[in-house]
Amino acid sequence: MRDYHLPGRSAVFARNGMCATSHPLAASAAIDILRSGGNAMDAAIGSAILLGVCEPQMTGLGGDCFVLFNPPGSDDTKAMNGSGRAPAALDPDAVRALGHTAMPEAGALPVTIPGAVDAFCRLSDDWGKLGLDRILAPAIRYFDEGVPVAPRTAIDWQNTHQYLEGRARDHYLIDGKAPEIGQVFRNPAQAALLRMIARDGRKGFYEGEAAADMLAALNAAGGTHTTEDFASTACSYTDPVFGSYGPYEVVEHPPNGQGAAALLLMNILKRFDLAAMDPFGSERAHVEAEATKLAYDARNRFIADPGHTTALDHLLSDKTADALTALIDPNRAMESATTLSEQVHKDTIYITVVDRDRMAVSLIYSIFRSFGSGLASEKFGVLFQNRGSGFNLTPGHPNEARGGKRPMHTIIPGILKAGDRMVQPFGVMGGAYQANGHARFVTNLADFGLDPQSAIDAPRTFPWQGELRVERGYAPSVLQELADRGHNVVTPAKPIGGAQTILIDHESGTLQGASDPRKDGCAIGY
């Protein structure tokens, strides 16, 4: 329990339904959908799409999604891959011939076909109760009328609006400038597109006027995208991957997301006695950082399009975790995870909703980098993701860029089960941090006994690009101890990631929602 003398936030408790996400208007809209007779799937889809006007730098119709959920009255977890593919004509040799050694982040080259809209339409048809016209109504209203820009969103907008190019600047800036806190942002062009989707389903997006608008923008920017690329886009149901940590069975989305890397990281960490460590001390931070480096190196080697990931069993095996654990020096940071592990291997929104029937949805939806590729369509202002920058250009690599493939994704939803029951959907935003974030959240619960809100609030670290990024919640003595172990300790300009979760107490019948203060959102129940 938190110290009520200090600033903080309490968890939210309710019985009938709950939503936790990164903007209050989206959480409120989800509850309205539940009150109107919708279920968790209806509420999650409607709220997620609304976040496209609340946080357009993070997400939108031009992006992808991954979803974990359980049907009403069942603890069986299902997975939906709502990620799009590279245009069929994408040729890695042609990209390399342009002088690229890595996929670019901006422009048309990294734009993969948006997959989220197809997934939302399919999930609504298969599992929803109200239909697209009703669940999209709140989003249509707010896209038309506008939303006051929230504080964290305004900061992100100000820091990244330079990524916007051409018509995207007209759609996502106000008088050429990033909006300020409290300024109302509207996107009526996207409201018109949502009306088409509400009326015509996926055809309203992937065919006809909308597809022509998107193709014109991409082809004008040098893209190889075609009408057939859009028309043939199809989401796919898939099987989750599982691991164990403490009292939990951890459910993750399979490749092309990085859920297997999160499971590998937890599999390494459970070989240490974390519970005997100070949760906010240098020993725990060091071990987690070293395990993260090794798990991410494995991720970069093997995770790719599901049809090209051939080492999933290797990533999830105890033998691999044992071998990687042996590479960790408890007193010294490694210089190169890639070199050490050679012998072993030869900006996003998250939303979770639980309804009265205890259907739970764990959904993550993103355009990748802030403002994605920086490109938007002329008429409807669809801001295209740059997920193709998740490919690499190494010839023969499982994740080599190529037409028709899905790239490796950073976004991953999570679910915790206990005693074969679904007890806690959760997600951690923050780009590459997400696998590390899943492990940090689960170990906070299992090893240190933190409640859901405290597990989210707790300070974070993340080893990335030669730095150990450490939030300001750590004591100066801990920073010095980490530096003494050889870490390049850096305080990041922005906090690390964001998270949401809902705990289902099956005995009492209550729901406990927690939301990250690093974002603008909240949990709301009824």
User: Taking the model in full, what pTM does it have?
Assistant: 0.96
**Which H or E run includes 243?**
strand 241-245
First to last CA, the chain: 23
Instruction: List per-residue pLDDT tens for the chain, 526 residues long.
Output: 678 888 889 999 999 999 999 999 999 999 999 999 999 999 999 999 999 999 999 999 999 999 999 999 999 999 999 999 999 999 999 999 999 999 999 999 999 999 999 999 999 999 999 999 999 999 999 999 999 999 999 999 999 999 999 999 999 999 999 999 999 999 999 999 999 999 999 999 999 999 999 999 999 999 999 999 999 999 999 999 999 999 999 999 999 999 999 999 999 999 999 999 999 999 999 999 999 999 999 999 999 999 999 899 999 999 999 999 999 999 999 987 776 665 565 468 999 999 999 999 999 999 999 999 999 999 999 999 999 999 999 999 999 999 999 999 999 999 999 999 999 999 999 999 999 999 999 999 999 999 999 999 999 999 999 999 999 999 999 999 999 999 999 999 999 999 999 999 999 999 999 999 999 999 999 9
Compute the distance between CA of residue 137 and CA of residue 32 in angstroms, rounded to an integer.
11
Q: What angle do CA 208, 211, 213 make, to 5 degrees?
A: 105
Q: Concatenate the DSSP letters of all residues of 133-162 into one string.
A: HHHTHHHHHHHHH-EEPPHHHHHHHHHHGG
Please, are residues 380 and 112 in contact by the beta-carbon 8 Å criterion?
A: no
- Dihedral sign, Cα of residue 488, residue 489, residue 494, residue 497: positive
The strand pairing partners of 82, in sequence order, are 65
Q: Concatenate the DSSP letters of all residues of 432-452 into one string.
A: GGHHHHHHHHHHHHHTT---H
Q: Which residue in 391, 95, 394, 455 sits closest to 248, CA to CA?
A: 455
